Chains A and B, each alone.
Chain A
Amino acid sequence: MLEIFQYDFIRHAFMAGLIIGIICPLIGLFIVLKRLSMIGDALSHVSLAGVAAGMLLGIYPVYGALILMLLAGLIIERLRNTYQQYAELAIAVVLSSGMSLAVILLSAGRSFNTSIFTYLFGSILTVNEHDLFTIGILGIIIVATVVFLRKELFFVTFEEEAARLAGVPVTLINLILILLTACTIAATIRIVGMLLTSSLMVIPVATSLQLKKGFYHSLIFAVLFSLLAVIGGLILAIYLNLAPGGTIVFFSVLMLLFVLLMRAKLLGRPQ
């Protein structure tokens, strides 16, 4: 089995996979607990527009996706404050806008070809050193920020008003969280694809929450589940020649089902 690692593209894919396996649930736990699970979906739809713009303008598509998603993140945060009672409206508006822009740019650039499919469903073959470098830098930024701001992110996610009274800069922390979400998706779309990126942010977290542990333990378990899904999914994708996005998310769904069944068996009913 280890012979597959003699190929550069496999090594690149696994290294990139391990990084996204860590960062997706790391950010995912905060957005799930803030009841903003759909934000990953909205931003990944925007990322497609960024990829299309990158292809059209001849710049590295991941940079195009990142720039557009950072902009969309700022817009979501602004709209969330405008529609405080309907925070999910901001997400729906940005998701639709992103998708419409993507369709326009793709049709304008006649880009409905195989290269766009690698961004939609992920790919192992196409992860090059440039991708790995970008994913690595984004990974370091995300992990370092979460480690430094873990107290602030925890408090703001748990209860914004109390956090504000305790002196936490809530608006800034919310903004940082959305920008980190954008960075996470930018790092993930090469491997998992934009259609399933948000799943990797949400499903390992859903599995971890079933274990009913404290906050930091939940974070560690979510990362472990995610890493298992990435490793299992990549191996399956390599041997069966499938798109890795599907296999990775399929593995994470299997783990969720397993944990749900075990809990049901232990407790007599699902929690």
Chain B
Amino acid sequence: MSATVIKVQDLSFGYNAKPILNNINLRVNAGDFLGLIGPNGSAKTTFIKLILGILKPWRGQIRLFDQDITVFKRWDKIGYLAQRAASVNIGFPATVEEVVAANLYRQVGPFRAPKKTHWSKVQSALETVGLINKRKCLIGNLSGGEVQKVFIARALVNEPALFLLDEPTVGVDLKGQEGLYELLDQLNKQWHITIILISHDVGVVTARVKRLACLNDTQIFVFDQPFDFLSSPDNLAKVYGQGMQTLIHCHQVNCKGRSFNA
């Protein structure tokens, strides 16, 4: 059995006394590729921020790599790509390698400059995302898809065991999206990085991920077979409301040998 990377037990959280997550339970194992979907305001980003320790839960427990989050120190094992990361001030005069190297802060240490070994890690992360030739380019001169790849490289430079991505395809064209999804597949299958991907693109995510979790109305629903979710209109209604019964993206996707319209 794979090691448990994230274990969430009876987690509750809310804003201004209003609960938005209620008694949430979730287990994510090493090597998982979990898609996290749900309508706007269903607390997907909040849930990720609780896992990252940015927000403190009202009740319940979060364990990361078999350690309680309150004593967890190995944050370098977790990579995070924030929502709308590509909308960061791209007029900022920073080169691609300067942005990626910044995330080595814990390894380099305070007051010190990155050494040769750190720069080779930067190079390796940029090679992985296919941007090694653009390492000296200003981040503002890149396309939306390339900027997202820089931020993915920034997360990968610490060689994380868990990678959380919050809507990475927003503002990225179809070709760029395809490249991003292929990269995530590679990271999960070849590098064995556990991935949690938040997205609104239900059809594509369902085809890409190994497991699917849906957040809505303070609850979480987990599907061990993602296509089970799409194949039942009841599931869509449960997560997105009665008004939506089917989602049609007009392209066929293959998932684990089975073919269906997403």
Contact = CB atoms under 8 A, between A and B. Distances in A.
Contacts of A163: 102, 105
B93 A165 contact: no
B154 interface: yes
B106 A158 contact: no
Interface in B95-109: 95, 98-99, 102-103, 105-106, 108
A165 B75 contact: yes
Interface string A140-161: 0000000011011011011101
Nearest to B138: A212
B106 A167 contact: yes
Contact of A154 (B52, B76, B102, B112): B102
B94 interface: yes
B111 A215 contact: no
Contacts of A157: 92
Interface residues of B, number: 30
A216 to B, nearest CB: 8
Contacts of A152: 105, 110
A218 interface: yes
A155 B102 contact: yes
A158 B93 contact: no
A209 interface: yes
A158 B105 contact: no
A214 B102 contact: no
A215 B103 CA distance: 15
A157 B94 CA distance: 11
A168 interface: yes
A162 B82 contact: yes
Given A148-B111, A165-B75, A218-B93, A158 B88 contact: yes
B50 to A, nearest CB: 14
Main secondary structure of the interface of A (DSSP, over half): helix
A216 B113 CA distance: 13
B82 A166 contact: no
Which of B91, B94, B138 has most chain A Cβ within 10 Å? Answer: B94
Nearest to A33: B92
A78 interface: no
A167 B105 contact: yes
B102 A158 contact: yes
Contact of A167 (B75, B80, B113, B136): B75
Contacts of B98: 154, 214-216
B75 A215 contact: no
A228 B140 CA distance: 28
A35 B91 CA distance: 11
A134 B95 CA distance: 36
A218 B91 CA distance: 12
Interface in B143-198: 154
A151 B105 contact: yes
A161 B82 CA distance: 9
B217 to A, nearest CB: 27
Nearest to A169: B110
B89 interface: yes
Contact of B106 (A154, A166, A216): A166
A26 to B, nearest CB: 14
Interface of B: 52, 54, 75-76, 80, 82, 85, 88-89, 91-95, 98-99, 102-103, 105-106, 108, 110-113, 136, 138, 140-141, 154
Given A214-B95, A215-B94, 14 more contacts: A33-B92, A151-B105, A154-B98, A158-B88, A158-B89, A162-B82, A163-B105, A165-B52, A165-B75, A166-B75, A166-B106, A212-B93, A215-B92, A217-B93
